[in-house]
């Protein structure tokens, strides 16, 4: 479009200038022809009839008005009739006649207030042995030039539009041939990102750079598939192998509980038994998750159920720590694994009980395409300069109680990011600490 405009506008202007110049040249030649036909002899007294005949015959030939003035500038012949004969025409408003009476041809374009249009006026002197004895003036409307220029401009626009259409069709074809392999790359990337580890570009063809990107993508996908497969096998094998020692530990704890007489020892053994039960549940969930992933089933969960499970797990410990748990539901389904979300909530609740025992709110909500899972306490809150670091591995704040490893929030953040989510630690205006985990909402949820 820019090229067409850059070429077409100057060309249209040039065509208009050329058309005007051609009309001026033509009018000048015609005026000189009429002046030659008039000559000095037809300006003498008694030659009016011959002068009128020349002017009347010339008017249709030049397609305009023809007038003749004498050396004083008085109108002596007019192709439009004798009404104005004797009028003074050598006036400043008609400079072309003044110039012609001074012995020089003149042509100009000027606006006629009487006719309400632009006129091309051409005047040439009538000379007799080097002396100017009168002048001939031809006037033509510029409508003809404007009409021809408009026709030429419309032609240029039509040619430009045809060229632009052809260019667009060609560009569309070229773009399609270039975009086709890129679309295949994008589709394969999307499938791989959604968990389809078999996604490949399948020898995408195109420019050398695109083919190289396709090969690199397939190699990367192969490595990702091998790595994920190894992780899956490790999770499945580790979960399976853990069941035996956990069963043995539970049997020993049950035996010890039966023989324990000290109430304090009994409480400790019961707490240890509950932890073993929780570990067994985690192992069972890991086995189920490994099975689901191996079968290619989509992994999603109801975060409201996850909140309820977390409150059931932590209710007794919260009471022991002098805290109370309450829930807020409304999140719905999200992409993720129940075991991972349970682990995230366990880490957040454990942190809250350690740093700010008291009222805790565990809940979920929906924000656009995200499900927000949160744990909020009413404690002293985290200092502003530490908010950005508390999710780093092994980082412990200045107010951190003794014990702990500084890994809870870091592991929760990494688990959230595994499912395309995020974790953010906030300090509400009314005090306390709020940790939000944002997961992708499941389709149709």
Number of structural domains the chain divides into: 2
C-alpha torsion angle, residues 268, 271, 272, 275 (rounded to 10) = -160
Q: Does residue 242 sit within a domain?
A: no
- Domain boundary (141, 175, 193) is at 141
Asked if residue 328 belongs to a domain, the reply is yes
Domain with 99, as residue range(s), is 2-141
Q: What CATH number should be reported for the domain holding residue 363?
A: 3.30.565.10
CATH of the domain at 129: 3.30.450.20
The pLDDT assigned to 403 comes to 47
Flag whether 304 is in a domain: yes
Q: Tell me if 216 is assigned to some domain.
A: no
Q: Does residue 274 lie within any of the structural domains?
A: no
Task: Give the domain-ending residue among 123, 141, 159.
Answer: 141
Does some domain include residue 205? no
pLDDT at 441: 87
In Å, what is the CA distance from 399 to each residue of 267, 423, 428? Answer: 30, 21, 18
Task: Give Cβ neighbours of residue 145 (< 8 Å, ≥ 6 apart).
Answer: 16, 19, 20, 23, 120
Boundary-marking domain end, from 104, 125, 141:
141
**Residue 236, in any domain of the structure:** no
Q: Is 349 among the domain residues?
A: yes
Render each residue's pLDDT in the chain as its tens digit; 445 residues: 777 777 767 766 777 677 778 778 888 888 888 888 888 888 888 788 888 888 888 888 888 889 899 988 898 888 888 888 888 988 888 888 899 899 899 988 877 777 777 888 899 999 888 888 899 999 888 776 677 677 777 777 888 788 888 888 888 877 777 777 777 777 878 877 766 777 777 777 766 777 787 778 778 888 887 887 777 677 667 666 777 787 788 788 888 877 877 888 888 888 888 777 777 767 766 665 555 555 544 477 888 998 999 888 888 888 888 888 888 888 888 888 888 888 889 988 888 888 888 888 999 988 888 899 999 888 877 777 777 777 776 666 555 555 445 577 888 888 888 788 888 888 887 888 888 999 988 865 5
């Amino acid at each position: 479009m820019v090229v067409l405009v850059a070429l077409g506008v100057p060309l249209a202007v040039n065509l208009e200038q050329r058309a005007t110049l051609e009309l001026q040249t033509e009018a000048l030649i015609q005026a000189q022809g009429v002046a030659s036909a008039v000559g000095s002899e037809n300006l003498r007294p008694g030659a009016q009839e011959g002068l009128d005949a020349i002017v009347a015959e010339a008017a249709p030939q030049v397609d305009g008005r023809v007038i003749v003035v004498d050396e004083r500038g008085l109108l002596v012949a007019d192709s439009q009739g004798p009404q104005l004969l004797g009028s003074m025409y050598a006036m400043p408003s008609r400079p072309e006649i003044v110039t012609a009476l001074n012995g020089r041809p003149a042509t100009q374009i000027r606006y006629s207030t009487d006719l309400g249009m632009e006129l091309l006026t051409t005047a040439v002197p009538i000379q007799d042995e080097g002396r100017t004895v009168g002048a001939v003036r031809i006037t033509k409307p510029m409508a003809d030039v404007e009409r021809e220029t408009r026709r030429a401009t419309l032609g240029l626009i039509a040619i430009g539009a045809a060229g632009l259409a052809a260019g667009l069709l060609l560009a569309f074809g070229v773009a399609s041939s270039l975009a086709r392999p890129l679309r295949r790359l994008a589709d394969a990337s999307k499938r791989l990102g959604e968990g389809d580890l078999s996604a490949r570009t399948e020898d995408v063809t195109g420019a050398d750079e695109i083919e190289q990107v396709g090969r690199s993508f397939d190699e990367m996908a192969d490595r990702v598939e091998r790595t994920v497969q190894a992780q899956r096998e490790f999770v499945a094998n580790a979960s399976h192998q853990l069941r035996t020692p956990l069963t043995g530990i539970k049997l020993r704890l049950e035996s010890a509980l039966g023989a324990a007489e000290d109430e304090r020892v009994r409480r400790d053994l019961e707490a240890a038994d509950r932890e073993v039960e929780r570990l067994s549940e985690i192992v069972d969930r890991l086995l189920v998750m490994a099975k689901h992933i191996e079968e290619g089933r989509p992994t999603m969960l109801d975060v409201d159920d996850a909140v309820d499970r977390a409150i059931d797990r932590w209710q007794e410990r919260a009471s022991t720590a002098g805290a109370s748990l309450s829930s807020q539901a409304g999140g719905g389904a999200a992409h993720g694994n129940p075991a991972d979300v349970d682990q995230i909530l366990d880490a957040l609740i454990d942190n809250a009980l350690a740093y700010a025992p008291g009222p805790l709110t565990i809940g979920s909500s929906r924000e656009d395409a995200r499900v927000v899972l949160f744990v909020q306490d009413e404690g002293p809150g985290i200092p502003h300069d530490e908010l950005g670091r508390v999710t780093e591995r092994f980082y412990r704040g200045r107010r951190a109680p003794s014990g702990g490893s500084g890994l809870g929030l870091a592991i929760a953040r990494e688990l959230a990011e595994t499912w395309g989510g995020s974790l953010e630690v906030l300090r509400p205006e009314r005090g306390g600490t709020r940790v939000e985990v944002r997961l992708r909402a499941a389709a149709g949820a």
